Structure 1
Amino acid sequence: MSISIDELLDRAGIEDALHRYAQAQDQNAWNLLDHVFTDEAQVDLVGLPAGTLPAQAFGQFLRDFNSTRLSGQHLIANTLIEVTSPTARSVSEVLHFTLQRTDDPTTLKLSEGSSLYADTWLKTDAGWRISHRVVTQKHLDERVVEYDADFIAVIEAGTATDWFQTS
């Protein structure tokens, strides 16, 4: 099977948008979501009370979730992409880790899990954008952890940094 330069560029554009999504949530860099979803996109959160949300409401859902989040990370991998320009489909495996604040400043809720993102893409003038996403939870382990205040301060310092900021 040979892949054309155009298909490689399409795949790179899709992977870039996937990473922008993860960085938006992981770094609270919400402006990155402007480069991920079409204006009409829908997100299906299978099995969650939120159900199906328009992309803008989903972005607010993520912001609300992050209001108590100390830190987190999404690792998107094993992505299979099928390009039929101007559309595409992708399926990605996702590992996610999140530390949520509690009422006790040294007690955190740790969530570790895995999900699957099944995305339908549209090639727009601004690049590849998700027009429909289905999110399924494959695994979730939640527990309470305790860290001393100094270590929590180290985590806060790392998550409050704008890594693209120029000096």
Structure 2
Amino acid sequence: MTFTLTDLVDRAEIDDALHAYAQAQDQNAWHLFDGVFAPDAVIELRGLPIPPLGPAELRGFLQQYNRTRVSGQHLITNTLITVDGDTARSVSEVLHLTLQTTDQEGTLHRSHGGSLYADDWTRGADGWRIRHRVVTQKHLDERDIEVPADLLATISAGSCVDWFTADLHTIGASA
């Protein structure tokens, strides 16, 4: 398969948007989320009792979920992208691990799973945007886990940093 420079740029822009979506959730960097979906996009969360959502509804849903979240990671991998003019399709495997608070001190709820994102894209004046996403759950393991206080403090401290603007030389440095 031979790619032109335009093909490579298109793929890089789509890949950046996929990662911006994950970083928006994981780092509460919602300004990144705003550049991922077309305004009239439809997002389907297959297997959940939730009707199709628009971008603003999905953002609200995720922000509500994040209120009890201590830490989260979404790893997007094995992405295949096909581009046809101003439209594209990508299929990505997604692994996620989320830790949420519970009513019990020292206990967190761990959600660990895998999903598949199937995305239809459109290119507009503001770049590549998802116009339709279907999320399907591939596996899910949820359970409560005991977390030592020192580990919870470390996880919480790392999750509270705005890594996009932080001075990396001073984070965690002793006074």
TM-score, with structure 2 as normaliser: 0.93
Structure 2: which amino acid aligns with 1:21?
Y
Distance 1:32 1:147 in 2: 31
Distance 2:60 2:68 in 1: 14
Report the secondary structure of 1:108's partner residue: strand
Distance 2:118 2:10 in 1: 17
Corresponding residue of 2:111: 111
Corresponding residue of 1:64: 64
Structure 2: which amino acid aligns with 1:92?
S
Corresponding residue of 1:34: 34
Q: Deviations over 1:92-145 (max 9, x none)?
A: 000000001101231001111000000000111111110010000000001110
Q: Deviations over 1:42-99 (max 9, x none)?
A: 1001010113111110111111111111101001000010001201000000000000
Corresponding residue of 1:128: 128
Measured after TM superposition, the shift of residue 2 of structure 1 is 1.1
Corresponding residue of 1:10: 10
Give the length in aligned residue pairs: 167
In the TM superposition, structure 1's runs of 4+ consecutive aligned residues that sit over 2 Å from their partners are: none
Structure 2: which amino acid aligns with 1:90?
S
Is 1:76 aligned to 2:71, yes or no?
Answer: no
Q: What are the ranges of 5 or more consecutive residues in structure 1 without an aligned counterpart?
A: none
Identity of aligned residues (%): 58
After superposition, the CA RMSD in angstroms is 0.9
TM-score, with structure 1 as normaliser: 0.97
